[in-house]
Structure 1
Amino acid sequence: MIILNTFFKFLFSVAGMNAGFSVSKNELISFIKDLKPQKTNFELIRLGPEGDGGYLVPDDLENIDACFSPGVDLISDFEQECYNKGMQIYLADKSVDRPNLEISQDNYHFLKKFIGPINNDDYITMDSWVNSVNTNANSDLLLQMDIEGHEYSSILGMSNELMNRFRIIVIEFHELNKLWNKEFFRIAQAVFTKLLDTHVCVHIHPNNQYGIDTLKGIGIPRIAEFTFLRKDRITILSDAIEIPNKLDFDNTNNKSIVLPNIWYK
């Protein structure tokens, strides 16, 4: 059974990368162009280290009540800087016992569960998590999500009310090289359509640990970090975006990669 499961996973992983594409080139190009990062009235700043675990966000952090950060890694400098800027800190991850934060456990909140589309002993939805903690219901929040592929179902399961509470959203999206596959494409399209209904993409940074797949002249990073800003915060919108940004750094010591032009020009 294990061998069969592995085989089917392999078939799905290459389905979008073989000759019989289910998604047309024009459809994929249209999808990519909708995600084109925009320059706003807020400059981008970096929170976290110069490497993995650091992200670019708009310099619009004042009066954000809390940072919700599902997916805990060895480095929690991003959350540390959010705490230093006056935010409450909420972290969740079933796979670790506690985050690596240099602050008292009384000053952050850790939930030993995965974030996902259901509530059970192992998983909790974003809505249930946020509603279970002590934040002002009218306050703005920040979301930083890195949950190894569960981001798609978690975002689709999130209520519109909660989406609108997140002033800034930073998500590392996985398996983007599967966008040629029709089934995966439809899921990703629904997720990004939902995000773009309330927010604008302001930055994309490809994770250099996994590289870029190029097919039919279209380069797609396998994993990329996306930053979004809520539309009501924006008074200026321009195509004059800087990619890569001077504050971007490689995630690993692997060969550096650059976001393909089609994603921002």
Structure 2
Amino acid sequence: MVDIVYYAPPPIKSDSLPKCVSLGVSDYSPFDLEMADMGYEVLEYDASIKSSPYPNHPRIKFFKKFVGAVESHNTTTLIQIINENKFDERAHNILQCDIEDAEWELLENIDISLLAKYFPQILFEFHNCNPDDEALTQRRLAVLAKLNEYYCPIHTHFNHNGGLLFAQNLLFSSLLEVSYLRKDLIPNNAEPLIGSATLPNLDYPNIPHYPDIPVIFG
């Protein structure tokens, strides 16, 4: 076990309200509520529910649309969201994406440099990361390589709902939650974590009463 050091990214100076885009909303979305209470303007997108779980919050706006690679009658794109909501690239905007496997197509069809321009921090739940499917794995790795050109993963958490895989004395899940920070905001003295770590202030089991899946960094 190694000591864990928490790094806060340097502030991005802007006079405008930072935005948090939340792709994939449910009847219980505490992340959105917490971000709004912190002062972010939260933009929720999901066509599978009727309205925001927090319809009366002054800093939460709900859009009954899915987000994908192309526009349609009930789908918008991330580029369209940026264009319609007047993003300030100097603000510490955050993107949260949990869209049930559609994240891969979204990322395959967007210029990651444009994503990095407007979102210093991004959070993704990556679905269907099955290492037994070689062709699919290579496609996934190509997307992650694109992200790694501009972002550095700063936190990883396994979701129980993706099942539990075990190989070479390591545990793994096909459903991963990964938080990224843009590379220019990573402190010069930051070092990769080595060993096994649990972060009780950040992590919580996705299935109550089940122990969290340990993450081992090498």
TM-score normalised by structure 1 residue count: 0.70
Give the Cα–Cα distance (whole angstroms) in 2 for the partners of residues 101 and 180 of structure 1: 40
Given the superposition, is the C-alpha separation of residues 153 and 251 from structure 1 closer, same or farther in structure 2, using an over 3 Å criterion? same
Give the residue type in structure 1 aligned to 2:28. I
Contact map agreement 1:113 1:122 (CA 8 A) in 2 = yes
Give the residue type in structure 2 aligned to 1:153. E
Give the residue type in structure 1 aligned to 2:172. I
Structure 2 spans left out of the alignment, 5+ residues: none
* Residue in 2 that maps onto 1:243: 197
Given the superposition, is the C-alpha separation of residues 174 and 71 from structure 1 closer, same or farther in structure 2, using an over 3 Å criterion? same
What percent of counterpart residues are identical?
Answer: 22
* Residue in 2 that maps onto 1:49: none
- Following superposition, the deviation at residue 205 of structure 1 comes to 0.7
* Residue in 1 that maps onto 2:175: 223
CA RMSD for the aligned pairs? 2.5
The structure 1 residue matched to 2:7, chosen from 42, 52, 63, is 42
* Residue in 2 that maps onto 1:87: 40
Aligned residues: 209
The structure 2 residue matched to 1:258, chosen from 197, 205, 213, is 213
* Residue in 1 that maps onto 2:99: 147
Deviation >3 Å, runs of 4+: 58-64, 137-140, 215-219
Matches within 5 A, 1:45-84: 65-84=18-37
Contact map agreement 2:43 2:61 (CA 8 A) in 1 = yes
The DSSP-based 3-state class of the residue aligned with 1:180 is coil
Instruction: Write the deviation string for residues 82-123 of structure 1: whole angstroms up to 9, x where unpaired.
Output: 11222111010110111211634x532221111111111122
In terms of fraction of residues, the more helix-rich structure is: 1
Give the residue type in structure 1 aligned to 2:127. H
Contact map agreement 2:157 2:215 (CA 8 A) in 1 = no
Give the residue type in structure 2 aligned to 1:255. Y
1:169 aligns with 2:122: yes
Question: Which has the bigger relative contact order, CA under 8 A and spacing at least 6?
Answer: 1
Contact map agreement 2:66 2:75 (CA 8 A) in 1 = yes
- Following superposition, the deviation at residue 60 of structure 1 comes to 6.1
Give the residue type in structure 1 aligned to 2:197. I
Given the superposition, is the C-alpha separation of residues 89 and 173 from structure 1 closer, same or farther in structure 2, using an over 3 Å criterion? same
- Following superposition, the deviation at residue 171 of structure 1 comes to 0.7
Given the superposition, is the C-alpha separation of residues 137 and 245 from structure 1 closer, same or farther in structure 2, using an over 3 Å criterion? closer
